[in-house]
């Protein structure tokens, strides 16, 4: 993989996850294997949806995406530009009521993941290629 960096702000609100997914698919198509692209697009969708639902990223705020490709893989971060420093917690999945699965998917599919709190709260993950 040739090294690259892509950074973008995606407006919050109800269409944020779909916009972020399209951006990731457009930027990573041809740069990473198709199966990896599908997993990254899914995880970005989950993290951005969490930023909207739990982080309060409405239409008047933005979520910042960072995609960095290099050997051995891909590093991805998502953070709310207007972040007030809130926490990120993994919930027990609620299969009947919905929700609580996003960070479990990240844990299952990513090679590594975590939460960074400085300068803003960001959830990041890495995928080995």
User: Could you read off the pLDDT of 62-73 as tens digits, one per residue?
Assistant: 999 999 999 889
Whole-number Å distance between alpha carbons of 23 and 19: 6
- Three-state DSSP at 118 gives coil
Strand partners, 115: 123
Strand residue runs (E) in 1-129: 4-11, 62-70, 73-80, 112-116, 122-128
Verdict on whether the full-model pTM lies above 0.85: yes
Q: If you classify domain 4-128 with CATH, what class do you get? A: alpha beta
Q: What Rg value do the Cα atoms of the chain yield, rounded? A: 14
- Three-state DSSP at 18 gives helix
Whole-number Å distance between alpha carbons of 79 and 122: 4
Q: pLDDT value at position 2?
A: 86
User: Could you read off the pLDDT of 96-118 as tens digits, one per residue?
Assistant: 666 667 788 999 999 999 998 87
């Amino acid at each position: 993989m040739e090294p690259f960096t892509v950074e973008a702000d995606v407006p919050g609100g109800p269409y944020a996850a779909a916009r972020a997914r399209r951006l990731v698919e457009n930027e990573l198509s041809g740069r990473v294997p198709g199966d990896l692209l599908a997993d990254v697009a899914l995880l970005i969708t989950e993290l951005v949806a969490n930023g909207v639902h739990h982080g309060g990223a409405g239409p008047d705020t933005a979520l910042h995406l960072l995609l960095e490709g290099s050997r051995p893989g891909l590093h991805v971060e998502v953070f709310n530009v207007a972040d007030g420093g809130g926490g990120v917690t993994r919930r027990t999945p609620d299969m009947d009521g919905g929700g609580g699965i996003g960070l479990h998917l990240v844990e299952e599919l990513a090679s590594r993941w975590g939460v960074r709190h400085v300068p803003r709260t960001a959830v990041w993950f890495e995928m080995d290629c």
